[in-house]
Structure 1
Amino acid sequence: MTPQHEDGPPTGMSRREWREMQEAAAAAEPSPPPAPQSAPPSEAASLAALLGAPDARDAAAPLTILTVCTGNICRSPLAEVLLRAELEPLGVRVHSAGTHALVGHGMPEPALELAAREGVDPEVAAAHQARYLVEPLLEDADLILTMAREHRSHVVKMMPSRLRRTFTVREFARLASTLSSADARAAADAAGASPRERLAAVLRAVNDQRGLTPSSGDDDDVIDPYRRSRETYARSAAELTPALVEVERLVRDALM
């Protein structure tokens, strides 16, 4: 047998022939199997993303409710300060934004008067400054309450994954009216101890009430009082405040 050398060609073979032989041998070796690819997201995971399932990464963050109107100076800030007065002691964060916000503007005098009449600290209401609705606010929210259907559509177009946690405030109240506190607490208890999971379970139960209470459409909107009479402001508040009572009830049921 012709002797071979570890780092050189065998006797009688040129280095070029030796190199070509090595290259041919390497080419004949089978290719390694392809690296495994990540499995596509399951149908359940995709559905969870669409429905706005709670994000486990945010488990330590406070529950957040976002209220939305057009200018963010009348309806949504009034809803914000009223909800905050009731729910902030439970550790719930409430804030607001506008689809076409009058950025930096405060609440007009009639709205401030309504807030004070409902027991809101005047300094809290006077501190409000309007801001635009942006995606990070939606991403952060566990419940989004809009003042009219146009705002709900705007939210869902901006972030479709928030579909099942977005309601007009009066729509939420209409659906909640057919869900007893006992049933809401049972849904929350079945979800475990996490406040975020418990609220999400209650929101699923609220969504399940669709079709049980018919609406004409306009009944789900809160009238916009901007630049209108004090009587219109009072009418707007009369549409808003009973709906907020239902929101407060179900959030309490979820957390207690």
Structure 2
Amino acid sequence: MRVLYVCTANICRSPSAEALLQAAGIAQVQSAGVAAVHGAPCCSLAPLLAGVDHRSQPLTAPLVRSADIVLTAAREHQSAVLALDPDARAKTFTIRQAGRLAQWLLDEGIVEAARMRATAPDGWAQRFEPGDPRQYVMPLPAPPERAAWLVAELDAARGFAPAPPTAPRRRRRDPEPPHPDDVPDPHAVGAQWHEPAAEQITAATAPLIEVLRQVG
């Protein structure tokens, strides 16, 4: 699978996610920034980038089109992705959203159900109770088509997986809490966010790695 991570400057959040997934050795990974310049070094405070030699690059339409899936640090970056390629909507998620949806696929046994349907398709829907998402799963295809299959299942999961809980503001004058599908930008909200951002990226990437391994 060809994965493209996107953030603002491509020096902190997206290269952190890129480095983490690259280390798993199960995908071709790149990253870019919607406001990036060419060749800027990565953030020295990002925990996941220690020892990583990364140089920033701007987001381009060819990068978006060549990716099987586009994972953005925050929802605001999705509009930049879609401005370059409106057809990328179904394959574009935030990092945390993709992790949440991947975890739902794992919890619901979607990959295993797809393997079973590929080998025993007859009467598939009748095996499950009404509303069971496994009755709608498409058969797991041959390896060359599995990246597209997984992206389609993640896209379909948007309509099944529970929405993430949102943190209410304690007082009216309190700042709006970060959206649960976004990784806050430490360079915008404060350097103290480098560690939490790394933790959020790591937590979101773990189920994605696992579902990629299951799909094969």
- Per the TM alignment, residue 65 of structure 1 is displaced from its structure 2 partner at its CA by 0.5
Counterpart Cα distance in 2 of 1:166 and 1:187: 22
Q: Confirm whether residue 114 of structure 1 aligns to residue 114 of structure 2.
A: no
Alignment of 1:83-232 (within 5 A): 83-86=21-24, 88=25, 90=26, 92-111=27-46, 113-116=47-50, 122=51, 125=52, 127-180=53-106, 182-187=109-114, 190-195=139-144, 197-211=145-159, 212-215=161-164, 216=166, 218-226=179-187, 229-232=190-193
| 1:97 alignment partner, SS class | strand
Which amino acid counterpart does residue 2 of structure 2 have in structure 1?
T
After alignment, is 198-207 or 210-219 more displaced?
A: 210-219
**Which residue does 1:68 correspond to in 2?**
6
Structure 1: state its 5+ residue gaps. Answer: 1-62, 117-121
Counterpart Cα distance in 1 of 2:85 and 2:190: 35
| 1:144 alignment partner, SS class | strand
Which amino acid counterpart does residue 213 of structure 1 have in structure 2?
P
Counterpart Cα distance in 1 of 2:205 and 2:102: 11
Q: Confirm whether residue 81 of structure 1 aligns to residue 19 of structure 2.
A: yes
Whose Rg is larger?
1
TM-score by length of 2: 0.76
- Per the TM alignment, residue 228 of structure 1 is displaced from its structure 2 partner at its CA by 6.2
Q: Confirm whether residue 249 of structure 1 aligns to residue 210 of structure 2.
A: yes
**Please, which of 196, 200, 203 is the counterpart of residue 239 of structure 1?**
200
C-alpha contact 1:71 1:130 (8 A) present in aligned 2: yes
Distance 1:153 1:228, change over 3 A: closer
- Per the TM alignment, residue 229 of structure 1 is displaced from its structure 2 partner at its CA by 4.9
- Per the TM alignment, residue 230 of structure 1 is displaced from its structure 2 partner at its CA by 4.4
| 2:97 alignment partner, SS class | helix
Counterpart Cα distance in 2 of 1:198 and 1:228: 38
TM-score by length of 1: 0.65
List structure 1 segments (4+ residues) > 6 angstroms apart after TM superposition.
Answer: none
- Per the TM alignment, residue 170 of structure 1 is displaced from its structure 2 partner at its CA by 0.5
Q: Percent identity?
A: 36
C-alpha contact 2:68 2:151 (8 A) present in aligned 1: no
C-alpha contact 2:141 2:149 (8 A) present in aligned 1: no
Structure 2: state its 5+ residue gaps. Answer: 119-138, 167-177
Counterpart Cα distance in 2 of 1:133 and 1:185: 35
